[in-house]
Amino acid sequence: MLTEEQLEKLRKAGRVSGAARELGMSMVKEGVKLYDVAQEVEGYIREHGCGLAFPCNISINEIAAHYTPSCTDKSVFQIGDVVKIDCGAQLDGYVGDTAGTVEVGTNSYRELIESSKRARNTVAEFISDGVALDEIGRTVEMSMRRDGFVPIRNLCGHQIEPYNLHAGLSVPSFDNQDKTQIKAGMVIAIEPFATNGEGMIKDTKPGNIVRYIRDRPLSDPKAQEFVDYVKGEFKTFPFCARSCDFPDAENHVKYLIRHGVLSSYAMLAEVAGGIVSQHEYTFYIDTKKGEVTTLP
């Protein structure tokens, strides 16, 4: 179980994340730049006393996750886009991880968007100490199938530990027969993805998100300086060049990927081109009902 001091850090990170999520979703309008939304979301997190647990993900239509705009990205939201805003704040390693989905100017996918939200909220009603992973997965899948959609089977919720965004348990969105139980004291992200496609995702091209993986000898002293900056600023968390207060960050990131110091995340696309929606809360599991930490 977390101490009161640790729990307050978790709660603050969650509150800031939830408010940043709502800010980002409110900005999603036709003609607005993705870059501007990401900058505002991350700026809000930093201005409210937290660090970034990962870059603000802005994933559109069939892209389920792992895209953040680069410094030179001029793209804007289009009418009919289904937009996932996924953001996270961290305070001394304690994380709030949260996401929501909005549609730009139309209502063609309202039921799909509501389906992922409904599945998440249904799990929120019973997640607690002793609940088995397959029970959560079964609940998510049944809820979505009743709505006429399917879950993304190879994207999971996850346990979170200090400075470790994906730690320990993976939480399925289908009945995978895993009887492992959630335990009191755990921090769990529940993030069902619903789709009108086949229910699987595949890796595509890089989405501008990277993480530090190892030290390597570097001939460029500025690149080494950048590595030291990244390790101090982002610790073990994913980041992107846009989020760095460091000269020429884009080129340093490219150099360090080539030299095996950084690893790049691929964008995740639905295999049949289906539209994807996502809703996510982080929960602290105490001895009673799980507590949502990522409400604004």
Tell me which residues are annotated as active site: 86, 97, 158, 166, 191, 280
Compute CA 261 distance to the chain's CA centroid, rounded to the nearest angstrom.
23
144, 151 contact by CB (below 8 A): yes
Between CA 296 and CA 219 the distance in angstroms is 46
For the chain, the residue count is: 296
3-state secondary structure of 244: coil
Query: Using CA atoms, how far apart are residues 25 and 58, in angstroms rounded to an integer?
Result: 10
Q: Write the CB contacts of 8 (distance below 8 Å, at least 6 apart in sequence).
A: none
Q: Provide φ and ψ at 244, rounded to 5°.
A: -95, 130
Q: Which of 82, 95, 249, 271 is nearest to 166 (CA)?
A: 95
Whole-angstrom distance, CA of residue 258 vs CA of residue 152: 31
Q: Please compute, for residue 98, the number of CA atoms within 13 A of its CA located in the half-sphere on the CB side.
A: 29
Contact 261, 212 (CB under 8 A): yes
Q: Phi and psi of 159, rounded to 5°?
A: -75, 145
